[in-house]
Structure 1
Amino acid sequence: MKKILLTSLMGFLAWGTQAQEDLSQYVDPMIGTAKMGHTYPGATVPFGSVQLSPDTDTIPYEVNGRYNPEVYRYCAGYQYDDATIVGFSHTHFSGTGHSDLGDFLMMPTSGPLQLNPGTEADPDSGYRSRFSHDREHAAPAYYQVTLDDYDIDVELTATTRVGVHRYTFAQGEDAHVILDLMAGIYNYDDKNVWTFMREENDTLVTGFRETTGWARTRKVFFALSFDKPIKQYGNRKYDEKQAYRGFWGRFNESENFPEIAGRKIRAYFDFDLEDGEQLIAKMAISPVSTAGAIKNMQAETPGWDFDAIHQAGVDSWNKELHKVQVKTIQESDKVNFYTAMYHAFLGPTVYGDVDGRYRGLDMNIHQAEGFTNYTSFSLWDTYRALHPLFNVLQPARNRDMVKSMLAHYDQSVHPMLPIWSHYANENWCMIGYHSASVIADAVVKETVTADLAHALDAAVTTAQTAYFDGIGAYMEKGYVPEDVSGASVSKTLEYAYDDWAIAQMADKIGNASISREFAARAENYKNVYDQQTGFMRPKLKDGSWKQGFDPLDTHGQGFIEGNAWNYSLYVPHAPQEMINMMGGDHRFVEHLDSLFSMDLPDRYFANTEDISREGIIGNYVHGNEPSHHVVYLYNWTDQAWKSHDKIRMILRAMYQTGADGLGGNDDFGQMSAWYLFSALGFYPVAPGSVEYALGSPLVEEATLNLENGKTFTVEAQNQSEKNQYVSKVLLNGEELHEPFIRHADIMKGGKLTFIMKGRPNKKIFSKD
């Protein structure tokens, strides 16, 4: 009996070990750090407030009074091809097309003290250091690099609200840690409104930084603690006038003075260290106060065991990555899959202290009751696939994100849901009111089941806010006139989609009048379709078409991040009506085919290095989100099979291993979410619908471990590089006769089986 029990126990332990495979080993945070992927390689935990990452340069926003285009390369602070590191800051965006953050840059140095960062062309003129990728390593919750100029080994890890540094000084004499309160991403001269720093004792420093920029008013507090006493500290104040006046002139504030305030401050801390000795620093951040930052530090990192904190971060990533377990054709596919999951789970980010307090849009301090508050909503990107992915894999978090959006609405002086918001600021970036889509999708899929009347009212009020981006004219005329508001066609089409989403939410809740009103508005896409040219095109306020129309041009034609060829396919909520409007299946399929095979002339690019060349296949622009649903539109024609090889082509062309592996910005996880859905074989063409369009999966097998305790399995029989076409699909053993599955099919658990072949089954899902 003992032998049987021992054998059973060993079998159970073996199963447990297999079940808890370290999936973090397949994540490569370096993917997307080159070219225009705009990801960062540093240490963070899922949805963490702290993103502790190296910055390879701090680029001025303006040069000689003009916008510096180099700023765009440094949206995440790091470029893989750079040769120097200027320091390690604690907040970063992942994969965005705009810059901000980069708070509280720290840099360990040794030897003669320098408080100027220097330049990449002349690193020796400042505190920055050369480095080599041969002595650099990035992994979930961990980053390591050797600073060659100082022979200092830097290791970074993080909790949700605390960044933890471990520095090993080969030469302990003259060891310094610089805290640069001036440095930042999107770094123009007057970004800093005010900074403050205070030495609480010989191991603890507190302070805050208030900045303006993309976020007009952003305030972040910090608490910085060292595991060894500070021998000496000092600072340099870089304000316009260096002289200290009045009472403060009685003291030398630059050395060992307990506090300092100013617009531009750099501080240093000296330590007595032996050669090879380590120094650990913890930087906690808070949107509320320095006391809040200290509480965050005490709650999340009460001790100094760097390795234990790191392991806890790895464990938190493994918990999230185990939501999907995959078998793939080749090892690189597994790397791409789990790296995509990693990038998808970087944001939106937690925004609030451990006690639930956070700074609101009204700049007052609020208490999050019954939810975790989130920030950094890049909604023009993420409504398409990232938030729908959360409804499958992260419903509890997505529920809190919706509550965070509604809190934003409640705190707005002219009630509006967020458009692109971060750190208690609304940036008004991009178009549409896609919070409505995110909320509607969560409501119809029953992720959100409470406070529904408030959610609907917030969406309706936002959609009726006449001062926002031509909505007044849109409501009056049924389209946005180009001579009233630019990018008018894109706005009309996206407003019409959002209106449809609101109608779906109203229908789910049972508000028939709102459903009818917004279902009618959802048909406004018809008002910008020109039957003669076969394209969506801009209209003027007198009802005439804008002249000089070029369907391939992206400039001045009524579109944003796309052209008429792309946006004429943007009616995700009514694809069958769009196909009929464009001449039926045959003509529509020809149009769709040509999108992938066209060769865009050079005249449509500013130059050979134009960033708009990133992520393009023919005239299909995968790097810009309006095209993300397009390949799945074949499912509404009699040639559904035509999507299969194209989906696989996009998966291979746009997502590769290596620093330059992303075909465009990751856009806060939207590009990664597209990959995850498509690799699994289905995609949410119209969030707000409970249907997913089927495609051609890349995985051999995937098991989705859902929050409700159910599992949903995707199986691709005969999967290979050659077998890209789906010949048959079965759901729980029953053959599907339409290329769609429903959200409930996934959430109640089951099995989706694709039978793969090397040649297309042209009769699959045939309308005949």
Structure 2
Amino acid sequence: MRRHAVLAAVLLLVSGSVVGRAACAEDLVDVVHPLIGTGGGPIGYGRTMPVVTPPFGMTGWVAQTRQSGHPGLSYYHKDRTISGFAGTHQAALWMGDYGDVVIMPESGEARTLPAERALPFSHRDEVARPDYYRVVMGAGGQAIRAEMTAAAHSALFRFRFPAGTARRVLVEASRAGVTGGVRVDEAKGEIAGYNPRRSDADLGPLKLPNFRGYFVVQFSRPATMSTYPATPAPDRPTGAFATFDAGADDVEVRVGTSFISVEQARDNLRREIPGWDFETVRRALHDVWQEKLDRIAVEGLSAEQRHIFYTALYHALLYPRSLSEYGRYYSAFDDRVHEGDSYTDFATWDVFRAEFSLLTLVAPERIGGMVQALLQDYRQGGWMPKWPNPSYTNIMIGTHADSLVAEAIGKGFAGFDRALAWEAVRKDATVPPDGDGTNDWRDRKPGTPYEARGGLSYALRLGYVPADRTAEAASSTLDDAYDDWCVAQVARAVGRQADYEHFLRRSLDYRTIFNPATRFMQARNLDGSWAGPDVGWTEGGKWVYTFDVLHDVGGLIGLMGGRDALAARLDRYFDGDYNWHSNEPSHHVPYLYDFVGQPWKTQERVRAIMRTEYADRVSGLDGDDDCGQMSAWYVFSALGFYPVNPASGIYMIGSPLVSRARLRMGDGRVFSVVADRGAAEAPYIRSATLDGVPLASPMVAYRDMVDGRTLHFVMGAKPSRWGASWVAPGAR
């Protein structure tokens, strides 16, 4: 196949559609710094990895500086050796990998254990990009240069070995403690196998005997092949070697992956990387990223801010991970292969807040398929998952797939079964999980049924989850109230008015754990008594969770005693250093000043968080990115708005860091943001208009964005009274 034909084919297969837009003047892929968040430091540790893969790619490829675990990622910036290049499916530090494969070039003596084969490297000899990774490993004349690029299910490596030495490529099918499978075929120049490892297998109810991560590895030149160990042993890794004659030419390696079969891995590779043209594959991946990043064009940011912004967008576009393999997918909910498309690695407790909302703007063509994937999981496993990895894991609380479904329906997305959506969210809200009366649903408790809404059997009677029966009860009560509001929206959309009114009433049950004596949310026991103030929280405490009423801020204002009272509590929260931006429950809190007539404080707080919690450095994310949520917060906040209640389709106004932004919507329309004097010295909004009409409230709607309107801010150096007269619905 000629070069241009190969390029066209790879572009189609990497992205799922032909890129029909000419490259813009600026190379936005150059602006992304994938090393942001990969190491600790003054700001924090974002727990990201510099993976090479397309947006939503099934397999990400990353230098392995350590073996992953839970907790533990394949790459950590402070490490100084590399023991391989992993085809990883790990979504976050606290989630394990599954079905991974590792490739490692070696010279000299064959070494199989990671600690033995690891080679030193320096970050000075490292290039990390969304479309390409390069590193030099080893010392002096014995150094090996490794390069890699990728497509959705495959990767292409190029290794340059030291002259005059034996050249060898190790393929690790499975690590010690896992019995994988591997076979060699010298005539075909191929190593193939599978890895059954699923690190989180003990966290959910499904055993999945058919689960495998399959791979096919092919080489650009003839090789002598062998497997290891000579005698299979559970305490030794399993894999194979391809050994080449000594020489000065590069060795190229291409790898196909699949969750369906070795044959499907081979077919994925044939479709995506049919030849040995490294630069063509890299260019195809580059162009897919360029098109996606160009969905948002911004002006007015400093060089550092641009790096943070587009790296955040890169991180947000990695998840959820596609499981589709050209019309088929493996389901980790019934352990079978199905026709159609699917996705996994939805960290719903995290991403419902802003990440999914961002995807509705920058990847609208994916939303219907993502929601349908959750509904397929429901049909095949009995429930929509909390955080599939790739199956049920029982990690975190609530059933926030309800929010994703409600947001997609509210914004008018199609491509999924609405009747099935109602059935799924109604089950979340009305059916307690098996064993609910005897299980306390502690986080990561092994051997439990699917958790769903842990404690729901009590909440249906009491209006709250009791802390002396269920772990994380106070947070669950609040999260369930929001999810009930989302279920109500789905009910209304499918014409179930009585159910809409029922779940809308139930969404007010958050009030059952508001302690009027302290004006804090507080867990209650089964007998109605108050539990301790520090009991029953999920990755937070009373200060954060008292504000966790995303769907009824007006009602929260009433409980607090009015707008001034809530504003004073917000002041104490921020001035007392209770804000915990490194974890998701706090992400909406600075935007609550919009609801109490003090939007200039939202503008101050948001700007301060962008300035202090994000940076263009390896420690530039203060907390787990959690499948793009931390990054999505920055993207929204830099644009000047944020989805406090994501399923409502309403975005609260903050303080635009950009001077101009252009969001290309799915139908080709463009939503524009203009901020006169939107620089660091002018963070306050003096006035705001939408298509020239003054904004009546500090908010903008998704419908305005889809219609391609222009949001225009006039900024100033001092606080103004803009937005102070608006009263939140329901505020008393």
Normalising by structure 1, we get a TM-score of 0.85
Of 167, 172, 175, the match for 1:180: 172
In structure 2, the residue matched to 1:659 is: 618
- Please state if 1:204 is matched with 2:200: no
Q: Output the amino acid matched with 1:265.
A: T
Aligned partner of 2:499: which letter?
I
Per-residue deviation, 1:396: 1.6
**1:227 alignment partner AA:** S
Q: What pairs with 1:322-333 in structure 2 (closer than 5 Å)?
A: 322-333=294-305
> SS in structure 2 opposite 1:641?
helix
1:356-380 C-alpha deviation (Å, 9 max, x unpaired): 2333410011111xxx311111111
| DSSP-derived class of the 2:688 partner | strand
What is aligned with 2:5? none
Q: How far apart are 1:171 and its partner, in Å?
A: 2.5
Match of 1:113, as an amino acid? A
Whether contact under 8 Å (1:221, 1:285) holds in the other structure is yes
2:156 to 152, 158, 164: 164
CA 1:130–1:394: 2 relative to 1, 3 Å: same
- Identify the match of residue 587 of structure 1 among 565, 577, 581: 565
Alignment deviations for residues 166-215 of structure 1 (CA, whole Å, 9 cap, x no partner): 101122521111112233xxxxx64x254343437341121111124313
* Aligned mates of 1:574, 1:697 — CA distance in 2: 25
Could you tell me how far 1:450 is from its partner in structure 2? 5.2
Aligned partner of 2:426 in structure 1 is 460
CA distance in 1, matches of 2:288, 2:51: 16
| Residues 135 and 146, structure 2, Cα contact 8 Å, conserved in 1 | yes
| Deviation for aligned residue 1:692 | 1.1
- Whether contact under 8 Å (2:99, 2:212) holds in the other structure is no
Q: Residue 34 of structure 1 corresponds to which residue in structure 2? A: 39
Query: 2:584 pairs with 618, 625, 628, which one?
Result: 625
- Report what 1:289 is aligned to: 261
Aligned to 1:114: 111
Pick closer, same or farther for the CA change 1:39–1:117 going to 2, 3 Å.
same
2:461 to 476, 481, 484: 476
Q: Please list, as runs of the form range in 1=range in 2, the aligned pairs for 1:529-608 lying within 5 A after superposition.
A: 529-546=514-531, 548-550=532-534, 557-598=535-576
1:712 corresponding residue in structure 2: 671
Q: Any conservation in 2 of the 1:161–1:284 contact (CA below 8 Å)?
A: yes
Aligned partner of residue 131 in structure 1, secondary structure:
strand
2: CA distance, partners of 1:377 / 1:193: 28
CA contact (8 A) 1:352 1:359 kept: no
Q: Which letter does structure 2 place at the counterpart of 1:531?
A: P
Q: Is the 8 A contact 1:350 1:373 kept in 2?
A: yes
Is the aligned partner of 1:635 residue 2:594?
Answer: yes
CA–CA separation in structure 2 for the residues paired with 1:511 and 1:214: 38
User: Which residue of structure 2 aligns with residue 488 of structure 1?
Assistant: 473
Distance change (3 Å), C-alpha of 1:621 and 1:473: same
Counterpart residue type for residue 577 of structure 1: G
Quick one: which amino acid aligns to residue 732 of structure 1?
A: D
Aligned to 2:223: 230
Deviates more, 1:299-308 or 1:148-157: 148-157
Query: Quick check: 2:98–2:197 contact (8 Å CA) kept in 1?
Result: no
Report the Cα offset of residue 273 of structure 1: 3.8
User: Which of 119, 133, 149 in structure 1 is aligned with 2:123?
Assistant: 133
Amino acid paired to 1:389: L
1:7-59 CA distance string (max 9 Å, x none):
xxxxxxxxx97834311111000101102311111311111112110111126
Equivalent residue in structure 1 for 2:238, among 265, 290, 294: 265
Whether the 8 Å contact between 2:638 and 2:657 is mirrored in structure 1 is: yes
* Cα gap change, 1:204 to 1:646, in 2 (>3 Å): same
SS state at 1:729 partner: strand
Which string of whole-angstrom CA distances, capped at 9 and with x for unpartnered residues, describes residues 133-173 of structure 1? 00000011111000124411000110000011110112252
Counterpart residue number, 1:420: 387
Counterpart of 1:320 (choices 292, 296, 302) is 292
* SS across alignment from 2:377: helix
What is the identity, as a one-letter code, of the residue corresponding to 1:80?
H
The 8 Å contact of residues 705 and 711 in structure 1, kept in 2 or not, is answered as yes
Is 1:439 the counterpart of 2:405? The answer is: yes
Matched, 1:142 2:132: yes
Percent sequence identity is 33
Q: Report the AA paired with residue 49 of structure 1.
A: M
The alignment status of 1:304 with 2:283, answered yes or no, reads no
SS of residue paired to 1:52: strand
Amino acid at match of 1:427: T
Give secondary structure in 2 for the equivalent of 1:542: coil
Aligned partner of 1:502: which letter? V
Residue in structure 2 matching 1:516, options 501, 509, 520: 501
Q: CA offsets, 1:401-446, max 9 Å, x none? A: 001001000001xx211111023x1111100100010000000110
Alignment match, 1:4: none
Residue in 1 aligned with 2:4?
none
| SS of the residue 1:646 aligns to | helix
Q: Aligned to 1:644, which of 603, 608, 611? A: 603
SS of 2:114's partner is coil
2:351 matches 1:382 = yes
Give the root-mean-square deviation of aligned CA atoms. 1.8
Letter in 2 for 1:581: L
Q: For residues 606-617 of structure 1, what are the structure 2 equivalents within 5 Å? A: none
Quick one: distance in 2 between partners of 1:678 and 1:106? Answer: 39
SS at structure 1 position matched to 2:127: strand
Partner deviation per Cα, 1:217-243 (whole Å, 9 max, x = no partner): 44211111111111242311575589x
- What are the Cα deviations for residues 103-124 of structure 1, in whole angstroms up to 9, with x where unaligned? 1111101012222222xxxxxx
Distance in 1 between residues matched to 2:350 and 2:22, nearest whole Å: 38
Alpha carbons of 1:582 and 1:201: their partners in 2 closer, same or farther (altered >3 Å)? Answer: farther
CA shift for structure 1 position 448: 3.0
User: Cα–Cα, structure 1 residues 701 and 225, in superposed 2: closer, same or farther, change >3 Å?
Assistant: same
Q: 1:54 aligns with which of 59, 63, 70?
A: 63
1:3 match: none
CA distance in 2, matches of 1:142, 1:32: 18
Unmatched tracts of structure 1, length 5 or more: 1-15, 62-70, 119-125, 184-188, 243-262, 551-556, 599-617
Q: Deviations over 1:578-597 (max 9, x none)?
A: 01101211121111112112
Q: Secondary structure at the match of 2:353?
A: coil
- Answer yes or no: is the 8 Å Cα contact 2:375–2:384 preserved in 1: yes
Mapped partners of 2:557, 2:279: distance in 1: 57
- SS of 2:183's equivalent? strand
After superposition, the C-alpha distances for 1:300-349 in whole angstroms (9 at most, x for unaligned) are 11111011101100000001011011112311111111111100001111
Structure-2 change in CA distance of 1:240 and 1:203 (3 Å): closer
Q: Is the 8 A contact 1:396 1:447 kept in 2?
A: no
